[in-house]
Amino acid sequence: MRVALVTVYSHAECTLKDVAGGYGTVFRIGESLPARLLARAKTHVAELPPVTAGHLAQAALAAGHSVRVCDVRRLPGQHDAVPTGLDVALVQTSIVDAAAERAVIEELTRAGVHTIAYGAFATARPQLYADVARVVVRGEPEALGAGLFDPTLRGLVEAGFVADLDALPLPDWSPFPVERYRYAFLARGTTLPVAGARGCAYGCGYCPWRVTAPFRERAPDRIVAEVRHLVDRYGARAIAFRDPLFNLDADRVRALARGLRPLGVRFSAEMRADKLDGAMLEDLHSAGLRSLEIGVESVDRAMLTREHRKPPEAAQIEAVVHAAHKLGVRVVANFVLGLPDDTEDTFRASVAYAKRLNTFAVQFTVATPYPGTTLETYASPRMRLTAPETHTGWEPTFEHEHVPTERLRALREWAYVSYHYRPRYALRVARTALTALRDRR
Ligand code: SF4
């Protein structure tokens, strides 16, 4: 059979699908010229395929099918036709492009294609796709193996999740335009994604990663084998680890560093600051770590605790950022603005703290009630925007108790613009560029 992996885009701004628990985000921070320049710069930072797509390609090829990778853009001024000459279309679903995905699926089904909707949003809201797709998969579609391509499948299919990630065959990226995939914070050459773990062991109430599937980790030697394969077969220069939580177990992280060190790749990972120290950072840096993402979220630790987060101590965060800067590792500090108990004061204090940390990159996402989160339960009576596409991760979607929507928007834009247009930040960028020039890895 002729199988296509279809991804639909309906926003002109930078859209990332394999983030926010797979619900996706659209980077839109404001209308001022500085904000638009920052948004444009963001589009050049990263382009990476979702790991699941590589697994689905592997399953289809192993079953003897051919595989095409198709992006369908439905933007203002660009209306791509649906791909033709297909038997099966696997359409990845996301919250941010749900309406356009529905439209594309409907056209494909009408053209006689066996359409399969899968992904985080189809799992959370299967009814949104049920009347247009032949099959809606809830859970991780790779758990179905070759059975996913059974043409007699119809309706809602419960795939569950992959209990043993080590038993999954490695993703096959051969049908993908791998030379296009990049992460500018890491390397100039091809960057490919690897999931060393899925889900998260923590339970932050606003986080979509913990709701889509349970936490599972792979064995370090399997991860190293995958990275070696990506280097040998695709010439990968860098690896973007997609684990929401890379460093739960120190022994496992050290074993992974030992295995990665001889491979000569650079890598990025998301880590908990309270599970890192200077020695582990040095270990990871010598193994290729060049970009580190940490969740700070807010300076108000009591508020975070009420959101079921176990926030790292400020001293731990500062020590990690300091050690990473010394080693030349780029740090991305993530903040979330507009949690229920946030006020303009806590908001401003968090931005001031971000400036003190002065990391190479920051994210000030807006608290978004993603399906399945406790924030969704809290916000449901207060929703001002209910269309899935409005849940971009940067748009206030519910009436905040303490900060009016327009003010929240203005503060978000101010946070980004005032962070990036500072002499001290320019110095950070210059220092990082110098370190990168000297980096021979
Ligand atoms: S630690 Fe990070 S990934 Fe895990 S639940 Fe909290 S915010 Fe989500």
Same domain? 48 vs 146: yes
Number of domains in the chain: 2
Same domain? 133 vs 205: no
Q: Give the model confidence (pLDDT) of 302-356 as tens digits.
A: 999 999 999 999 999 999 999 999 999 999 999 999 999 999 999 999 999 999 9
In the predicted structure, residue 420 carries a pLDDT above the cut 90 = yes
Confidence of residue 187 (pLDDT cuts 50, 70, 90): confident
| CA 208 – ligand 1 centroid, Å | 8
Confidence of residue 382 (pLDDT cuts 50, 70, 90): very high
Same domain? 346 vs 235: yes
Same domain? 141 vs 250: no
- Residue 335 confidence (pLDDT): 97
The kind and range of the H/E element at 297 are strand 289-297
Confidence of residue 43 (pLDDT cuts 50, 70, 90): confident
Domain membership flag for residue 72: yes
**Token couple for 152:** 């007699």
DSSP, collapsed to helix, strand or coil, labels residue 133 as coil
- Residue 317 confidence (pLDDT): 97
Residue nearest to atom 6 of ligand 1 (CA): 204
Same domain? 26 vs 61: yes
Same domain? 104 vs 231: no
Domain membership flag for residue 372: yes
The kind and range of the H/E element at 248 are none
pLDDT average, residue stretch 263-278: 96
Same domain? 125 vs 206: no
Domain membership flag for residue 315: yes
CATH number at residue 47: 3.40.50
Domain membership flag for residue 238: yes
Domain membership flag for residue 44: yes
Would residue 83 be called left, alpha or beta, if left means φ above 0 and alpha means ψ between -120 and 50 degrees? Answer: beta
Query: Rounded to the nearest 5°, which phi and psi values hold at 375?
Result: -65, -35
Same domain? 15 vs 98: yes
Domain membership flag for residue 171: no
Domain membership flag for residue 111: yes
- Residue 185 confidence (pLDDT): 86
- Residue 353 confidence (pLDDT): 98
Are 299 and 313 in contact by the 8 Å Cβ rule? The answer is: no
How large a percentage of the chain has pLDDT more than 90? 92
Mean pLDDT of the chain: 95
Same domain? 283 vs 421: yes
- Residue 440 confidence (pLDDT): 78
Q: Whole-model pTM?
A: 0.95
In the predicted structure, residue 436 carries a pLDDT above the cut 90 = no
- Residue 410 confidence (pLDDT): 95
Same domain? 310 vs 422: yes
Same domain? 160 vs 293: no
Domain membership flag for residue 252: yes
Nearest to 411 by CA among 335, 359, 332, 356: 335
- What residues line ligand 1, using a CB cutoff of 6 Å? 200, 202-204, 207, 209-210, 244-245, 295, 309
**Token couple for 101:** 């995905």
Residue nearest to atom 1 of ligand 1 (CA): 202
Give residues with Cβ within 8 angstroms of 288, minimum separation 6. Answer: 239, 260, 261, 263, 264, 265, 266, 267, 441
Same domain? 218 vs 338: yes
Locate the ligand 1 atom nearest the alpha carbon of residue 210 and give its number: 5
| CA 199 – ligand 1 centroid, Å | 9
CATH number at residue 315: 3.80.30.20
Query: Exposed, middle or buried, 158 (CB in 10 Å: 0-12/13-18/19+)?
Result: exposed
- Which of 139, 165, 191 is at the close of a domain? 165
Mean pLDDT check: name the lowest of 144-153, 205-214, 238-247, 418-427.
205-214
Q: Which domain holds residue 253?
A: 177-438
